[in-house]
Homo-oligomer: A and B are copies of this chain.
Amino acid sequence: MAVSDKAIGTSVTDKYDIGEAMCPYRLVLEHVTSRWGVLVLIELLERPYRFSELRRAIGRVSEKMLTQTLQTLERDGFVHRDAKPVIPPRVDYSLTDLGREAAEQVKALAIWTSERMADVDKSRRAYDEARALKARA
Protein backbone atom coordinates (compact mmCIF):
# COMPACT_ATOMS: atom_id res chain seq x y z
CA MET A 1 0.00 0.00 0.00
CA ALA A 2 1.16 3.58 0.57
CA VAL A 3 -0.23 5.06 -2.56
CA SER A 4 -3.68 3.59 -2.86
CA ASP A 5 -5.04 4.73 0.48
CA LYS A 6 -8.13 2.75 1.36
CA ALA A 7 -9.24 3.27 -2.19
CA ILE A 8 -9.96 -0.34 -2.91
CA GLY A 9 -12.83 -2.38 -1.56
CA THR A 10 -15.67 -0.70 -3.36
CA SER A 11 -16.15 -1.51 -7.00
CA VAL A 12 -19.58 -1.92 -8.57
CA THR A 13 -22.43 0.59 -8.95
CA ASP A 14 -22.84 1.15 -12.64
CA LYS A 15 -24.52 4.45 -13.14
CA TYR A 16 -23.44 7.58 -11.33
CA ASP A 17 -25.92 7.37 -8.48
CA ILE A 18 -24.84 10.54 -6.78
CA GLY A 19 -24.97 10.04 -3.05
CA GLU A 20 -25.84 6.68 -1.48
CA ALA A 21 -22.91 4.75 -0.16
CA MET A 22 -19.29 5.36 -1.11
CA CYS A 23 -19.14 5.03 -4.84
CA PRO A 24 -15.65 4.61 -6.32
CA TYR A 25 -15.73 7.64 -8.57
CA ARG A 26 -16.03 9.85 -5.51
CA LEU A 27 -12.48 8.88 -4.59
CA VAL A 28 -11.23 9.97 -7.98
CA LEU A 29 -13.14 13.19 -7.64
CA GLU A 30 -11.47 13.76 -4.30
CA HIS A 31 -8.09 13.13 -5.85
CA VAL A 32 -8.49 15.76 -8.55
CA THR A 33 -10.15 18.26 -6.24
CA SER A 34 -7.79 17.71 -3.33
CA ARG A 35 -5.82 20.63 -2.01
CA TRP A 36 -2.65 19.86 -3.93
CA GLY A 37 -4.27 17.89 -6.73
CA VAL A 38 -5.98 21.00 -8.00
CA LEU A 39 -2.78 23.02 -8.02
CA VAL A 40 -0.73 20.28 -9.64
CA LEU A 41 -3.23 19.77 -12.44
CA ILE A 42 -3.53 23.47 -13.15
CA GLU A 43 0.22 23.97 -13.10
CA LEU A 44 0.83 21.04 -15.44
CA LEU A 45 -1.76 22.42 -17.83
CA GLU A 46 0.83 25.03 -18.78
CA ARG A 47 3.74 22.72 -19.47
CA PRO A 48 5.64 19.71 -18.08
CA TYR A 49 7.52 20.25 -14.86
CA ARG A 50 10.33 18.61 -12.97
CA PHE A 51 9.70 17.67 -9.37
CA SER A 52 11.47 20.50 -7.59
CA GLU A 53 10.41 22.94 -10.22
CA LEU A 54 6.79 22.02 -9.58
CA ARG A 55 7.38 22.28 -5.88
CA ARG A 56 8.65 25.82 -6.23
CA ALA A 57 5.87 26.76 -8.62
CA ILE A 58 3.20 25.67 -6.20
CA GLY A 59 4.98 26.86 -3.12
CA ARG A 60 4.21 25.84 0.44
CA VAL A 61 3.84 22.17 -0.38
CA SER A 62 5.95 19.62 1.44
CA GLU A 63 7.92 17.09 -0.55
CA LYS A 64 5.83 14.39 1.00
CA MET A 65 2.50 15.82 -0.06
CA LEU A 66 3.70 16.59 -3.56
CA THR A 67 5.07 13.09 -3.99
CA GLN A 68 1.90 11.59 -2.64
CA THR A 69 -0.32 13.75 -4.83
CA LEU A 70 1.69 12.99 -7.94
CA GLN A 71 1.63 9.26 -7.26
CA THR A 72 -2.10 9.26 -6.74
CA LEU A 73 -2.67 11.22 -9.93
CA GLU A 74 -0.27 8.99 -11.81
CA ARG A 75 -2.02 5.87 -10.60
CA ASP A 76 -5.39 7.25 -11.68
CA GLY A 77 -3.93 7.93 -15.10
CA PHE A 78 -3.97 11.74 -15.02
CA VAL A 79 -0.27 12.36 -14.80
CA HIS A 80 2.60 10.83 -16.73
CA ARG A 81 5.88 10.30 -14.94
CA ASP A 82 9.04 10.22 -17.01
CA ALA A 83 12.08 9.22 -14.97
CA LYS A 84 15.40 9.45 -16.77
CA PRO A 85 18.05 7.10 -15.39
CA VAL A 86 20.76 9.73 -15.14
CA ILE A 87 22.80 11.15 -12.34
CA PRO A 88 21.63 13.36 -10.83
CA PRO A 89 18.11 11.98 -11.29
CA ARG A 90 15.72 13.82 -13.54
CA VAL A 91 11.98 13.21 -13.47
CA ASP A 92 9.50 15.04 -15.64
CA TYR A 93 5.81 15.19 -14.95
CA SER A 94 3.18 15.95 -17.55
CA LEU A 95 -0.53 15.49 -18.08
CA THR A 96 -1.98 12.56 -19.97
CA ASP A 97 -4.92 13.18 -22.30
CA LEU A 98 -7.24 12.10 -19.54
CA GLY A 99 -5.45 14.38 -17.12
CA ARG A 100 -5.77 17.30 -19.45
CA GLU A 101 -9.52 16.89 -19.60
CA ALA A 102 -9.69 16.78 -15.83
CA ALA A 103 -7.35 19.71 -15.42
CA GLU A 104 -9.37 21.86 -17.76
CA GLN A 105 -12.54 21.30 -15.81
CA VAL A 106 -10.81 21.86 -12.51
CA LYS A 107 -9.23 25.03 -13.79
CA ALA A 108 -12.58 26.27 -15.03
CA LEU A 109 -14.02 25.71 -11.58
CA ALA A 110 -11.04 27.44 -9.99
CA ILE A 111 -11.39 30.44 -12.24
CA TRP A 112 -15.13 30.62 -11.70
CA THR A 113 -14.53 30.53 -7.97
CA SER A 114 -11.94 33.28 -8.02
CA GLU A 115 -14.22 35.41 -10.18
CA ARG A 116 -17.02 35.01 -7.68
CA MET A 117 -14.92 35.80 -4.64
CA ALA A 118 -16.46 39.24 -4.34
CA ASP A 119 -19.93 37.74 -4.03
CA VAL A 120 -18.68 35.18 -1.56
CA ASP A 121 -16.96 37.78 0.58
CA LYS A 122 -20.06 39.89 0.59
CA SER A 123 -22.18 36.95 1.64
CA ARG A 124 -19.73 36.09 4.38
CA ARG A 125 -19.75 39.56 5.82
CA ALA A 126 -23.55 39.57 5.88
CA TYR A 127 -23.59 36.17 7.50
CA ASP A 128 -21.02 37.07 10.14
CA GLU A 129 -22.73 40.33 10.92
CA ALA A 130 -26.09 38.63 11.39
CA ARG A 131 -24.40 36.21 13.74
CA ALA A 132 -22.72 38.98 15.68
CA LEU A 133 -26.10 40.56 16.33
CA LYS A 134 -27.60 37.38 17.66
CA ALA A 135 -24.60 36.91 19.91
CA ARG A 136 -25.46 40.12 21.74
CA ALA A 137 -28.73 38.63 22.97
Interface of A toward B, CB cutoff 8 Å: 3-4, 15-16, 18-26, 28-30, 32-33, 35, 38-39, 42-43, 57-60, 74-77, 98, 101-102, 105-117, 119-124, 127-128, 131
Contact = CB atoms under 8 A, between A and B. Distances in A.
- Copies of this protein in the complex: 2
Nearest to A76: B120
Interface of chain A: mostly helix, strand, loop or mixed: helix
Given A18-B39, A35-B30, A75-B124, A105 B112 contact: yes
Contact of A127 (B75, B98, B108, B110): B75
B24 A29 contact: no
B77 A114 contact: no
Contacts of A123: 75-77, 98
Nearest to A15: B114
Contacts of A102: 112-113, 116
A20 to B, nearest CB: 5
23 contacts: A3-B131, A4-B124, A15-B114, A16-B110, A16-B114, A18-B39, A18-B43, A18-B110, A19-B39, A19-B43, A21-B59, A25-B114, A26-B38, A28-B116, A28-B117, A29-B38, A32-B113, A33-B109, A75-B127, A76-B124, A77-B127, A102-B112, A105-B108
